[in-house]
Amino acid sequence: RCQQKCSTCPHMITGYEEQGIALNKCNLILGNCKWNATWAIEELGYRPEIVGWVYPSMTEIDNESIKGKYISMNMLTYAKGTDIFADIARQMPNEKFRIYGYEHSLPCFPSFSLPKNVEFMGKVSQEEMYTDAKLWIVPARKIVNFGMTIIEAMSCGVPVIASGCGSVIDDEMVIDGYNGLHVPMDDWEKGHKPDLWVKYVNKALENIEEYSLNAHETDFSRFSKKASADRFIDYAKKLVH
């Protein structure tokens, strides 16, 4: 128990304390991906010897009956780029689009609407999310941290188009031109233009069978429960010794 009184956390242990006091007291800080750990070292200044990473383990999904009707994404929120997704759908009226998960809004988020060819499905089973999708899009407006839906979609044979930044590249979550595509983010503002995303969506649809097969055959063993547990245990042993 860290005895800090500046949080409502019942355990009083959190990285969100004033000036990161709790993290500064840690013997080990684990991020959820390689990019996240690198960011903690390079941007926040934590010592490399106390920073590591363990992937959240992915859930195995029954993916025997891919129907491939919809271009889909996760979460209805500006931060995840749902407005970009909506604009892509407007420019592709003959395609069907779906958004899964929950809706999240803040007063600072711009308002936007969904066109008629976009359905907001809310929370459904993982099987339904991925078996109905032919393409998964991650038009994130913030740097992509670990993206569980990215690897879950690809494990079901659904190619992914994602903002080319963060763990998408550093952790090789999407292999550009193999199991999906990176939308360049060298120019952050230009990288979020719907016209650019439509170009990449059309490219993926032209190669959908190849990308889908490659996505399904991608080795996801590093995201397995065993791999995550083994890595965590290795870190724990180093602390003990």
CB 102, CB 123: distance < 8 Å: yes
Q: What is the pLDDT of residue 93?
A: 97
- Among 152, 135, 137, 150, which Cα is nearest to 211's? 135
Q: In what order do the strands lie in the sheet with 133-138?
A: 118-122, 96-103, 70-76, 133-138, 160-164, 180-184
pTM: 0.84
- Which residue's entry shows tokens 């013997």? 27
Q: What is the pLDDT of residue 4?
A: 45
Q: Which long-range contacts (CB under 8 A, 24 or more apart) does 179-184 make?
A: 179/154, 179/211, 179/214, 179/215, 179/218, 180/136, 180/154, 180/204, 180/211, 180/215, 183/139
Tens digit of pLDDT for each residue in 131-178?
A: 889 999 999 887 778 888 999 999 999 999 999 988 999 999 999 999
Tens digit of pLDDT for each residue in 120-129?
A: 999 998 888 8
